[in-house]
Amino acid sequence: MKSRAFKLFPLLLVGALLMRFESYAHAPLQHPARGVIQSIDQTNRTFALVEAKTNRVFVWKSYTRFRRGWHKASPEMLYPGQTVKLWYRREIGQLVAYEIRWSETQTNKTVSQSVRDNASQSVSPAAMNAAPQEKRGATRK
């Protein structure tokens, strides 16, 4: 019995040493945040978010997803004063936005509000027609 155990022990030891041990790091956790955009810098791909207790600056990267409602959007559609919800990760001293969402109804309200503001300004019909004529004349040169 002892001789059989001594014969199997080296085989088990070699098998354990040859076995692969795989280890990998988990993806960083995502954290939610909700607030109002205070400022946007398109060149540096950053925006400042005003939250209930803090103001933080976030960065977006090429893999950041922008969603208006359930539809894809672009970073150019963001504007200061817009309420957004986002998920972010901490990466090397930065807060990197992974996904940014805002509602369509809020966008529609702000667009309709700006249309009303523009309509309230008195513009003569001659002034409205003058700009397109200048544009047409400039393209014919």
- Dump pLDDT digits (tens) for 28-79: 788 999 999 999 999 999 999 999 889 999 999 999 999 998 899 999 999 9
* 108-96-28 Cα angle (round to 5): 125
Over residues 11-22, the pLDDT tens digits come to 787 777 777 666
The residue that leads in pLDDT, 92 or 122, is 92
User: Phi/psi of residue 131, each to 5°?
Assistant: -65, -45
- The pLDDT of residue 17: 74
Q: What values do phi and psi take at 48, rounded to 5?
A: -100, 130
* pLDDT at site 73: 93
pLDDT-derived band at 25, boundaries 50, 70, 90? confident
Give 31-108's CATH code, choosing from 3.40.50.10470, 2.40.50.320, 2.130.10.10, 3.30.230.80: 2.40.50.320
Answer whether residue 141 shows pLDDT above 50. Answer: no
Q: Max alpha carbon distance in the chain (Å)?
A: 109
pLDDT: is 128 or 1 the higher one?
Answer: 1
What are the boundaries of each domain within the chain? 31-108
pLDDT at 2: 64
Phi-psi map region of 74: left, alpha, beta (phi>0 left; psi -120 to 50 alpha): beta
Closest CA to 28 of 72, 85, 92, 80: 92
Q: What is the pLDDT of residue 123?
A: 46
Q: What is the pLDDT of residues 93-132, one digit of tens each?
A: 899 999 999 987 755 455 445 444 444 444 444 444 444 4
Q: What is the model's pLDDT at position 27?
A: 73
